[in-house]
Amino acid sequence: MPYTTFNRNEFDTFEQPMFFGEQVNVARYDQQKHKIFENLIEKQLSFFWRPEEVDLTNDRKDFLDLPDHEKHIFVSNLKYQTLLDSVQGRSPNVALLPVVSLPELETWIETWSFSETIHSRSYTHIVRNIVPNPSVIFDDITRNEFITRRAESVTRYYDDFIYLSNYYIQLGEGTHRINDEIVEVNLHELKRRMYLMLVSVNVLEAIRFYVSFACSFAFAERAKMEGNAKIIKLIARDEALHLTGTQHMLQIMARGKDDPEFAEIAEECKDDVIRIFTEAAVQEKEWAEYLFKDGSMIGLNKDILCQYVEYITNQRIGALGFDRIFTSRSNPLPWINSWLNSDNVQVAPQESEISSYLVGAIDSEVDTNDLGDFDL
Amino acid sequence: MPAPAQGHYRSGLAPEQDTTTFELDGGLTDAQPDFELEALVAEPALGPAQTELWLPDTDPEHPQPSPQLELDGMAPPLYHIRLDDGREARFQHAANLLSSLEAQNIDVHFQCREGYCGSCRAQLLDGEVHYAEEPMAWLNEGEILLCCCIPRSNLHIRLQD
């Protein structure tokens, strides 16, 4: 069944699974099978922000003053974040939209990806502020072998799924001969790849991002690169929401709530889930080693970051109903909570550092003392 | 003639009653306004940024305006919270279970405090809770989200480790 942008069939939305059912037609939200996705969309919209709202002028000065090994930590971390959001800004759309069957889920996927593009734009905003030539940083993302190794593990499950799903959309199930290559398209295998892909997305959002957030906040904890941390706070708030979205998809699947076949797949893939989480933790630890290869920074070193990787991996796999992988229990970076807490995020433009609101501004606070030498 | 709107005049008085004299030239010798364009003292060094962040300066378990229903002349009901590791707490005035536990030195994982991240999920072993707003995070059977619920009975809970 080739993809159509407007499915003419008439069908009952409530009968449709999240994916691989009827293709969507009317983008209507009056009847919703999974209302949570509508709630997520509304929450995400209420989070809207723009990178330019955050003033980064002090970061430039801070960055120039950082010792070389800390510059390495900061820039490498930023490259990794850029890579992750480059992937997340397009992949959910490319992978999931062609096979989605519920309009509210379709819109959530679009909203989700869109907010990742804001994150990508904010990295450019940061890079422009800290170095005269942004290409030095961006070009290295595809050249540096440590970063490309990260890219391989981040994109593998996406690419595996998209490869097969493209054939499925064009040719349907069966054994196809394409350019002298035999391609076996089987819906069960496709669903399995989708499930593993969502697990790997969950790992990306729930572990990989948080490790990078820890580095960004560690600078700000010492009152360095605070503008950057402010942006990362906004990103972290969005990611916490995306994480919830992905957890919902995975749990709805695992419970067979709309497609019993996915429940079987979730059962089959239990070992794979543990493997994906464990692999990610190992990769993040290797990354920590690369970050701190020339020296640690005050408040964060390789060991603490590795402990944080274990802690956050335990937390996230626990949220999916699995047992802990590592023995560590407590959060080695307790201060990170106050950075991740959205109460601290200023959203209204007049509250944040948007400069246009400050032009010609006066101090409007009047105290009785101000009128002290005022005679009538 | 209608009285001019108040606030047009700095003294707040009608013009005929306004005895304040403004001298444009040289009249302000001893009453210079008390401000400086630049602070004379250096700004204090920036402390760790965390001090600007959310640190509760009130005790949520102390009576203060709360989202709980106001009952005239009656204190909100007092509930007993028992953790499965043996620790105990009480809940009466707090806005949610999370801040109540924190105020009683029981550390709980948290992040968003708004019900969408799911960091503070806990097992409800016994009792009943109420959500003022439906939480968005995924909750398994028997799990509660501490940041957005209040007890409706005595509780027995298990925190995530």
pLDDT (0 to 100) of residue B65: 56
What are the structure tokens assigned to A67, written together? 């010792």
Q: Is residue B49 part of a domain?
A: no
What is the domain count for chain B? 1
CA distance A181 to chain B (A): 42
CB pair distance less than 8 Å for B112 and A341? yes
- Residues of A306-336 as b/e, b for ≥16 C-beta within 10 angstroms? bbbbbbbbbbbbebbbeebbeebeebbbebb
Q: Is residue B39 part of a domain?
A: no
Q: Is residue B115 part of a domain?
A: yes
At A191, the pLDDT band (50, 70, 90 cuts) reads very high
Beta-carbon contacts of B62 under 8 Å, excluding residues fewer than 6 positions away, are: B93
How far apart are the two ends of chain A, measured CA to CA in Å? Answer: 86
Q: Is residue B84 part of a domain?
A: yes
- Which residue range forms the structural domain that includes residue B127? 79-159
pLDDT tens digit sequence for B103-123: 999 988 888 888 999 999 999
ipTM exceeds 0.85, yes or no: no
CA distance A178 to chain B (A): 42
pLDDT (0 to 100) of residue B73: 72
CA distance B94 to chain A (A): 17
User: How many Å apart are CA A79 and CA A187, to the nearest integer?
Assistant: 37
**A326 pLDDT exceeds 50?**
yes
Of A39, A240, A370, the CB nearest to B117: A240
Helix axes A260-268, A226-254, angle to 10 degrees: 110
Q: Is residue B99 part of a domain?
A: yes
β-partners of residue A181 are A178
β-partners of residue B94 are none
Look at residues A317, A79, A311, A134 and name the one whose alpha carbon lies nearest to residue A210: A311
What are the structure tokens assigned to A258, written together? 């709309």
A-B CB pairs within 8 A amount to 85
Of A220, A339, A376, the CB nearest to B11: A376
More confident: B46 or A34: A34
Beta-carbon contacts of A22 under 8 Å, excluding residues fewer than 6 positions away, are: A7, A9, A11, A16, A101
Q: Is residue B150 part of a domain?
A: yes
Q: How many CA atoms, within 13 angstroms, populate the side-chain half-sphere of residue A72?
A: 16
Residue pair A104/A41 in contact by the 8 Å Cβ criterion? yes
Interface residue of B112, B113, B143, B161 to substitute, partner A, most A CBs within 10 Å: B112
Q: What is the pTM of this model?
A: 0.81
Residue pair A106/A97 in contact by the 8 Å Cβ criterion? yes
Weakest-pLDDT range from A273-282, A305-314, B88-97? B88-97
How many other C-beta atoms lie within 10 A of the C-beta of residue A353?
A: 16
Q: What CATH code is carried by the domain that includes residue B124?
A: 3.10.20.30
Q: Catalytic residue at A123?
A: yes
User: How many Å apart are CA B16 and CA A350, to the nearest integer?
Assistant: 39
**B21 pLDDT exceeds 60?**
no
Mean pLDDT of B44-52: 51
Q: Report in angstroms the alpha-carbon separations of A354 from A51, A54, A238.
A: 10, 6, 20
User: How many Å apart are CA A42 and CA A58, to the nearest integer?
Assistant: 34
Q: Is residue B19 part of a domain?
A: no
